[in-house]
Amino acid sequence: MLPRLYVAEPGLILNEGAELALPEGAARHVQVLRLQPGDPVCLFDGLGGEWAAQVTAMGRKEVRATVGRHSTADRELSLDVTLALGMPANERMDTVVEKATELGVFAIQPLMCERSVLRLDGERALKKVAHWQGVAIAACEQSGRTRVPEVRPVMTLKAWLAQQGTSTGESGTAASAATPRRGVLSLRDAQWVGDWLARQAAGDDAISAHREAWSFLSGPEGGLSEAEEDLARRHGWTPVSLGNRVLRADTAPLTVMSLMATRQRPHQN
């Protein structure tokens, strides 16, 4: 696969035949790969599709490329999956963002919970989110995705749940286009996630005109507290189980993404 470069930047528009100076990150990528004028690359701006391109000039401060033909490549999931998770500590959040992006996640919501080891606010939180967004971009370049998932600002679980409102997830009825189906990963009196997904699939015909929207909530190291899980349930989140083994804070959300990625056949480009 050709080197893929993310080139979204204010004022930069990709048009066939245009020559442009690559943004700093993409230019650095070309320099690290030691590409030369005439070498082919692939450009994408995160809005869908991608462009064939060719490096035309290499400099220490500037790399230029000529944009070629546009392709409507679609390698995205047909459903929008948001992972809301108590941020795991150390480098494990990087791994979750990277792997979830490869698996097709739509958005990632970092949360601070009662048992969170990693606690962020202010400038430190902004820098971490920017770093994780960069991790997502790199994973899109590597995996062939043409849309970049959003890593949202860090919030406390309580504030985030209040912002989400309520849904019909507890009863298992089909969600509307505006309301995602919501599952909170639990070891307490929870139904097997496979059974829940199967029951939800029975209502797919009712929303066939819309993209499916799903949200999954998982805890940090030590899991959600009983009070936090009860709060999620009161906000309409359905408790679902991944089995009777205790999965790590970085394993559980990726297991969910793997399950969701199997709900569609791959596109044929």
pLDDT band, residue 42 (cuts 50/70/90): very high
Q: Is pLDDT of 176 > 70?
A: no
**148 contact partners, CB below 8 Å, separation of at least 6:** 6, 8, 46, 101, 133, 136, 137, 140
Does residue 170 surpass a pLDDT of 70? no
- Judge whether residue 3 has pLDDT over 90: yes
Under the banding of pLDDT at 50, 70 and 90, the label for residue 169 is: very low
Ranking 51-60, 187-196, 258-267 by mean pLDDT, the lowest is: 258-267
Average pLDDT over residues 128-156: 95
CATH 2.40.240.20 applies to domain 4-71 = yes
Residue 178 scores a pLDDT above 80: no
Q: Is the pLDDT of residue 172 over 50?
A: no
What are 212's two structure tokens?
């499916």
Phi/psi for 135 (5° steps) reads -60, -40
- Is the pLDDT at 140 greater than 50? The verdict is yes
Q: How far apart are CA 28 and CA 9, in angstroms?
A: 15
Mean pLDDT of the chain: 87
What would the pLDDT profile of 191-245 be if each residue is shown by its tens digit? 899 888 888 876 655 444 567 889 999 999 989 999 999 999 999 999 999 988 8
DSSP of 74-113, one letter per residue?
--S-SEEEEEEEEPPSTTHHHHHHHHHHHHT-SEEEEEE-
Over its C-alpha atoms, the chain yields an Rg (Å, rounded) of 20
- Give the N- to C-terminal CA distance of the chain in Å, as an integer: 14
Cα–Cα distance measured from residue 68 to residue 164, given in angstroms and rounded to the nearest whole number: 42
Residue 189 has a CB neighbour count (10 Å cut-off) of 8
Window from 57-66, 206-215, 256-265 with minimum mean pLDDT: 206-215
Handedness of CA 116, 122, 127, 132 (dihedral sign): positive
Kindly report the CATH number that applies to the domain delimited by 79-261: 3.40.1280.10
- Three-state SS for 57? strand
Domain 4-71 matches domain 79-261 at the CATH topology level: no
CA distance 182 to 242: 15
Query: Domain limits of the chain?
Result: 4-71, 79-261
pLDDT at 177 over 80: no
The per-residue pLDDT for 200 is 80
pLDDT of residue 195: 87
Confidence band of 254 (pLDDT split at 50, 70, 90)? very high
The bridge status of strand 63-71 relative to strand 19-21 is: antiparallel
User: For position 202, what pLDDT does the model report?
Assistant: 66
